[in-house]
């Protein structure tokens, strides 16, 4: 169990791997009390996101929202780490 595993809800993590011009490559993960889902995301300064992760749709959609908000923020620099938590619905 990771130190990021919540007792309820989900934690969403984006960790910067590298920057290519106006785009940034991130390792992404979603931590829930019962599972961890990992993938990759490519964030573009235009605000678009290309993401690959095998997770339940509702979790992946919220991760995509966080990634898009990160992509739309002024750059440079790209943030090294973005961590968000959302409680159960």
Domain residues of the chain, as ranges? Answer: 10-84
pTM of structure: 0.94
Which pLDDT does position 1 carry in this prediction?
65
pLDDT single digits (tens) 51-72: 999 999 999 999 999 999 999 9
Average pLDDT over residues 74-81: 93
Q: Quick check: 11 pLDDT over 90?
A: yes
Rounded to an integer, what distance in angstroms lies between the CA atom of residue 11 and that of residue 24? Answer: 21
Rounded to an integer, what distance in angstroms lies between the CA atom of residue 12 and that of residue 40? Answer: 13
pLDDT single digits (tens) 27-37: 999 999 999 99
């Amino acid at each position: 169990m990771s130190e990021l595993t919540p007792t309820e809800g989900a934690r969403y993590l984006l960790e910067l791997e590298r920057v290519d011009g106006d785009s940034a490559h991130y390792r992404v993960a979603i931590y829930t009390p019962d599972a961890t889902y990992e993938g990759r995301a490519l964030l573009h300064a235009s605000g678009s996101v290309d993401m690959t992760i095998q997770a339940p749709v509702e979790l992946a959609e919220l991760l995509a929202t966080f990634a898009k908000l990160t992509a739309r923020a002024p750059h440079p620099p790209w943030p090294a780490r973005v961590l968000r938590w959302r409680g159960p619905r």
